[in-house]
Structure 1
């Protein structure tokens, strides 16, 4: 089992991801964050491209919701994914 949280502190302009899991080395798969852009957590049949792609999409100004829709639109396994995002405005 894996638990993840994506969060931001708009006052401090900080974004982050925390992960707790029974699986080793989840830090290489689940958490992705970039100051001034947002944060992404991808777990459970994780598509590891969602982290960098999600940050790139949010970096263009897309919201977390718009980014999630883009990530999932062509994913044949979207029903298996567990993804959390928070954008530059703090929306998830």
Structure 2
């Protein structure tokens, strides 16, 4: 027997301050009834001897250890730069500034 009726959906719409058309009421009645039925099925299966889970496979931290890598020297960083001066990349002026 269906627990969700069109009248209940209309009432929920009023409580939520949502204006529902007759088509929406019909569609939501079926959808909400299916949701309630599925929750009832899960409730019947959930017994005290079945532990609650949030994921079917045990999870563990998969992050690697935080280690500082070997840093490049300034010369290594600038070796392929098209233009460099004073240990910096040299780029064209922007924002209308002239050189």
- As a proportion of its length, which structure holds more strand? 1
**Larger Rg, first or second structure (1 or 2):** 2
Structure (1 or 2) with the greater helix fraction: 2
- TM-score class, shorter-chain normalisation, is under 0.3
Q: When the two structures are superposed, what TM-score results if normalisation uses the length of structure 1?
A: 0.24
TM-score (norm 2): 0.23
Using CA pairs under 8 Å that are at least 6 residues apart, name the structure with larger relative contact order, 1 or 2: 1
